[in-house]
């Protein structure tokens, strides 16, 4: 079998295989200086505000993909879980963004129609293509890494001293803890269930999507840290 094909005898989980393939970008994304400074509360307000302006553009693309995944799900229970995740993103995160933007004095135009970074455009394009050009596995192949990366850095940040500013502290809380951990576990289980039975061609496509998503996470944090 080719290096682009999952070998069940060598890897306990399909998503574990995908994660291994994404190194060294995986470590670069989950242990980035940007998130370390965010967790320490030493990131500048301007840098964080600019990051959030770009991130909400990403979230808008992400919600479309989550909705698409709910329509592709192979069971009613999975579809309901994805719909609940979509509701969570659309309520808790929207409320957070509004309060953070107010606290950081982000102008109205920047909140709704900013100039997008190239990496933001690339991320939106990847999410859209994965959903449009494949099936459930391809859609999950971009959802899993973007959520899993945030869980990994978020839980690491949550274990340390917490920053005083609510917009740092609550951003960590949104990406750590039992609820978000369960969501990521669910997404991984769904991809683990369908991935091993894909054709070699689709496994390779899923792997490319996953690796590209992790690569773009690094580029997004790099841009935010400048």
User: Is the predicted pLDDT of residue 2 greater than 80, yes or no?
Assistant: no
Grade residue 1 by pLDDT with cuts at 50, 70 and 90. Answer: very low
Q: What is the mean pLDDT of the chain?
A: 93
Cis peptide before 24 (omega within 30 of 0): yes
Nearest to 142 by CA among 59, 207, 82: 207
Task: Please state, in angstroms and as integers, the Cα–Cα distance from residue 78 to each residue in 11, 12, 16, 119, 121, following that order.
Answer: 24, 22, 21, 30, 29
Question: What's the rounded mean pLDDT across residues 82-92?
Answer: 89
Residue 92's pLDDT is 83
Among residues 226, 207, 220, 222, which one has the least CA distance to residue 62?
220
Q: Is the pLDDT of residue 19 over 80?
A: yes
| Model confidence pLDDT, tens digit, residues 153-206 | 999 999 988 999 999 999 999 999 899 999 999 999 999 999 999 999 999 999
Q: Please report, for residues 52, 55, 77, 225, the alpha-carbon distance to residue 93 in angstroms, rounded to integers and kept in the order given.
A: 11, 11, 23, 22
Instruction: Judge: domain 88-226, CATH 1.20.910.10.
Output: yes
Q: Which residues are CB-contacts of 125 (< 8 A; sequence separation ≥ 6)? A: none
The 8-class DSSP code of residue 91 comes to I
User: What residue spans define the domains of the chain?
Assistant: 88-226
pLDDT in tens, 21-52: 999 999 999 999 999 999 999 999 999 999 99
Q: Give the tens place of pLDDT for each residue, 125-146.
A: 999 999 888 899 999 999 999 9
Q: How many CB atoms lie within 10 A of CB 34?
A: 21
pLDDT confidence tier of residue 4, bands split at 50, 70 and 90: low
CA distance 154 to 176: 5
The per-residue pLDDT for 166 is: 96
């Amino acid at each position: 079998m080719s290096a682009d094909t999952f070998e069940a005898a060598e890897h306990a989980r399909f998503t574990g295989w995908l994660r291994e393939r994404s190194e060294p970008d995986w470590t670069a994304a989950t242990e980035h200086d940007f998130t370390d400074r965010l967790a320490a509360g030493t990131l500048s307000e301007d840098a964080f505000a600019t990051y959030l302006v770009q991130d909400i553009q990403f979230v808008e693309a992400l919600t479309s993909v989550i909705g698409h995944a709910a329509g592709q799900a192979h069971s009613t229970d999975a579809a309901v879980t994805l719909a609940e995740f979509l509701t969570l993103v659309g309520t808790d995160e929207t409320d957070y963004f509004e309060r953070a933007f107010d606290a950081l004095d982000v102008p109205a135009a920047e909140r709704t129609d900013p100039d997008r970074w190239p990496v933001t455009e690339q991320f939106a394009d990847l999410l859209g293509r994965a959903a449009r050009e494949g099936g459930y596995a391809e859609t999950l192949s971009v959802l899993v890494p973007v959520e899993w990366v945030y869980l990994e850095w978020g839980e690491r940040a949550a274990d340390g001293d917490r920053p005083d500013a609510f917009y740092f502290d609550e951003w960590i809380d949104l990406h750590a803890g039992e609820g978000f951990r369960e969501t990521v576990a669910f997404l991984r289980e769904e991809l683990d269930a369908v991935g091993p039975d894909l054709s070699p061609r689709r496994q390779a496509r899923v792997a490319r999507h996953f690796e590209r998503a992790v690569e773009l996470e690094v580029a997004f944090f790099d841009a935010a840290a400048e």
